[in-house]
């Protein structure tokens, strides 16, 4: 569906994207993740046709897309971008915003398309309301519906949930995936919150220093991150250097283990004491002092431990991540 071939981009001689290539299948939801400055938004804007690549090309259904320098108006009719601030017309109702997105289409098509969008995105009760009367989650739904208006093949979303409260965001994550699948629309999502990516993406692309460091399903990337930097993006991981891995696990490579895979047990081979207790809602996170060079994080689901308590743990060998 979308083929990204050898894209590079530099700003003021600083390379932001370095030979990016990849293929995205029709109807898939792809998430681009990485630290600030890794090139996520730049890649999204190049796909959208808003900024030119220095080298490389974007293909949609085997057709090479023109860059902004080759067009009178930047962008592509088949690709729509949902902005972080929603970019809704404040003086227009929800229905009028959808109508505005269909300027140039005949009245019969507009009427039927708006009716369908309101049905798909569950906007019936919001028809007469203006953006100033909507919650953040409602605005997001309207913005997504407007992006769908002209039946694009691809929707690009740049940090769409960053301003929403956790409860609203959780609902919209599910809605976004359901809407994308219902309409068979390809979605490329940029997010700084890797939990969002894990929950809804079909595939995750991890960008590091302008390159794609890893691609895979959420479970593949989470269970087998290629390096410690990627692992840190996805949660709390205990990292062991070569010496620590060799001493504790008899593995002569750097390793890691997710906090949830460290087990507190009365017969654990690893001994230490509780240095800090961190309230975490349904459980406690414990920072465990092992020695001057090693501290581990573990969940205390029973909330029984206090600072300075001795503790014993085991690391499940099947859950150890080995880094090369």
CATH of 2-231 among 3.40.50.880, 3.40.50.300, 3.40.50.720, 1.20.210.10: 3.40.50.300
Question: Percent of the chain scored above 90 by pLDDT?
Answer: 62
72 pLDDT more than 70: no
Residue 125: predicted pLDDT = 92
Residue 140: predicted pLDDT = 81
Task: Determine which of 168-172, 245-249, 303-307 has the lowest per-residue pLDDT on average.
Answer: 168-172
Residue 193: predicted pLDDT = 87
Task: Determine which of 26-30, 96-100, 102-106, 137-141 has the lowest per-residue pLDDT on average.
Answer: 137-141
Helical H segments across the chain, by residue range = 40-48, 94-100, 107-120, 136-148, 166-183, 194-200, 218-223, 228-233, 242-249
Average pLDDT, the chain: 90
Region of residue 302 (left: phi > 0; alpha: psi -120 to 50; beta: else):
alpha
The SS3 of residue 43 is helix
Residue 47: predicted pLDDT = 94
Residue 183: predicted pLDDT = 84
Buried b (16+ CB within 10 A) or exposed e, 28-60: bbbbbbbeeebbbbbbbbbbbbbbebeebebeb
Task: Determine which of 62-71, 256-265, 273-282 has the lowest per-residue pLDDT on average.
Answer: 62-71
74 pLDDT more than 90: no
Residue 141: predicted pLDDT = 85
User: Mean per-residue pLDDT for 272-298?
Assistant: 94
In whole angstroms, give the CA distance from residue 95 to residue 136.
17
Q: Is domain 236-322 given the CATH code 3.90.1150.10 in the classification?
A: no
314 pLDDT more than 70: yes
pLDDT in tens, 101-151: 898 888 899 999 999 889 888 889 999 999 999 988 888 888 888 888 888
User: Mean per-residue pLDDT for 202-218?
Assistant: 96
- Parse the chain into domains and list their residue ranges: 2-231, 236-322
C-alpha dihedral sign at 269, 274, 276, 278: positive
User: Mean per-residue pLDDT for 41-54?
Assistant: 93
Residue 322: predicted pLDDT = 96
């Amino acid at each position: 569906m979308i083929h990204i071939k050898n894209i590079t981009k530099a700003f003021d001689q600083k390379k932001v994207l370095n030979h990016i290539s990849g293929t995205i299948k029709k109807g898939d939801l792809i998430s681009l993740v990485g630290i600030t400055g890794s090139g996520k938004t730049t890649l999204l804007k190049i796909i959208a046709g808003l900024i030119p690549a220095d080298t490389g090309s974007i293909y949609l259904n085997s057709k090479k897309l023109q860059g902004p320098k080759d067009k009178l108006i930047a962008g592509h009719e088949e690709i729509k971008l949902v902005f972080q601030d929603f970019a809704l017309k404040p003086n227009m109702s929800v229905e009028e915003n959808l109508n505005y997105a269909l300027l140039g289409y005949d009245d019969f098509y507009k009427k039927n398309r708006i009716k369908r969008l309101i049905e798909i995105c569950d906007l019936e009760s919001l028809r007469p309301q203006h953006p100033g009367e909507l919650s953040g989650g409602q605005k997001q739904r309207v913005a997504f519906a407007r992006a769908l208006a002209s039946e694009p093949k691809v929707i690009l979303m740049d940090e769409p949930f960053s301003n929403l409260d956790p409860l609203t965001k959780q609902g919209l994550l599910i809605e976004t995936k359901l809407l994308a699948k219902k309409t068979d629309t390809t979605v490329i999502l940029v997010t700084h919150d890797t939990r969002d990516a894990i929950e809804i993406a079909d595939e995750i692309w991890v960008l590091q220093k302008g390159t794609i460091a890893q691609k895979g399903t959420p479970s593949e990337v989470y269970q087998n991150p290629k390096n410690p930097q990627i692992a840190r993006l996805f949660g709390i991981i205990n990292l062991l250097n070569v010496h620590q891995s060799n001493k504790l696990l008899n593995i002569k490579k750097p390793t890691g283990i997710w906090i949830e895979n460290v087990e507190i047990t009365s017969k654990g081979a690893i001994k230490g004491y509780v240095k800090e207790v961190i309230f975490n809602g349904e459980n406690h996170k414990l920072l465990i002092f092992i020695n001057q060079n090693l501290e581990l994080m573990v969940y205390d689901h029973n909330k029984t431990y206090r600072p300075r308590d001795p503790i014993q743990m085991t690391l499940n060998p099947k859950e150890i991540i080995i880094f090369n």
